[in-house]
Structure formats: structure tokens, C-alpha cells
Amino acid sequence: MSKERFFKGTFLLTSAGLISRIMGFFYRIFLSHTIGAEGIGLYQLVVPLQHLVLAMTTFGIQTALSRLISSHTALGEKKEAQDCFRIGTFLALFLSGIAAWSIFTFSDFFAVQILKEPATESLIRLLALSFPFASVHLCVNSYYLGLKKASFPAATQILEQLVRIFPPACSGRSVYPAILLSPQ
């Protein structure tokens, strides 16, 4: 890979990450005003569970996919690169599906016994539904990073943040209060 392409990809991903973080910063302010301190506290309780499950279900699959796809592509083995993507995505989807089912089914256990906050149960259930989608998202990004096309992951990172921010911000409301206030 040429230095120019490397620096261009690095700059693109760094810029997208910075833009996404800035947008997230302002969204956090909006969110804190919308759902209040208690809602933010509940949200913050659930986030480490999300990070743990995603780390367990994608445990290196993203890195391995990028590396394998990159090496197969460099050797001109397009079919093998696609096979690696399919197998890696299937594995990540399988593991995240099991995790999603487990977390959803035993959400009361995680809320009461692990997080020690029964009010997080509905958030945990909602969160569980996102695991398979997040795993596929990570695998697709890995595929494009392996092809040395950093523009796709950079664009999806910004698009993801826009989808998260603008619908609630435009309506002046967030979906979180409805979730937080739903009966347990």
C-alpha cells in the first residue's frame, strides 16, 4: 500500500471519528436534558454490558477479517476473500444471536442481580436486539477496511451518528423516556 493511500485512509477514518465524537458530545447534552439524571444513570449502567457482549461476540473477528481479506485481495484471491467475509459474518452473527437471546431471555437476572437496578430491564431487552445488527455492521466495516476502502466505514460511522441524533433532536424528544418509564 502506498504511503499516500495509507495517510488518506488514516485521515479519513480519524476525521470521521472526530466528527462522530463531536456530534455525540452534543447529543449527550440533548439526551441529559431530555431524560434527566436518572435516565442518564440507567443508560450508563447498561452501556458496559453492551461493550462486554460485543467484545465477547466479535472477539477478534473484526481484526481477523480485515487481515484475511486484505491478504487474499493482495494475492488476487477475490473468492477466498469473500468466503472469509461470509464465514466471519456467520460466526459473528451466530455468537451475537446466542448472546442476544440469552440477554433478552434473562434480562431480569442481568437487571436485578448483575446491575442491581430493576429499572434497566427494558433497556437491556432493547439492547439485546441490537447485538446481531452490530456484529454484521462490524464485519461489513472489516470487509471494506480489508479492501483498503476506508471511505465506507467512515461514511457509515457518520451516518450512524446522524440517524441516532437527528430524529429525536428534530422532534424535540427522545425515545429513551418511553423506554425508561415503561412498566416493569
Q: What is the pLDDT of residue 182?
A: 45
Q: What is the pLDDT of residue 82?
A: 94
Residue 130 to residue 110: CA distance in whole angstroms:
16
Per-residue pLDDT of the chain (184 residues; tens, 9 = 90+): 577 877 888 888 898 889 888 988 888 888 788 888 888 889 889 999 999 999 999 878 989 999 999 999 999 999 999 999 999 999 999 999 999 999 999 999 999 999 999 999 999 999 999 999 999 999 999 999 899 888 888 888 888 888 877 776 676 655 554 444 444 4
What nine digits make up the cell of 93? 452473527
Q: What is the pLDDT of residue 91?
A: 95
Question: Model's pTM, two decimal places?
Answer: 0.78
Residue 112 to residue 101: CA distance in whole angstroms:
18
What is the CA 27 to chain-centroid distance, rounded? 17
Q: What is the pLDDT of residue 24?
A: 83
DSSP alpha helix (H) spans, the chain: 3-58, 61-74, 78-105, 107-109, 121-146, 151-171, 176-181
Residue 35 to residue 177: CA distance in whole angstroms:
6
Q: What is the pLDDT of residue 12?
A: 85
Q: How many helices (H) and strands (E) does the chain have?
A: 7, 0
Residue 135 to residue 62: CA distance in whole angstroms:
9
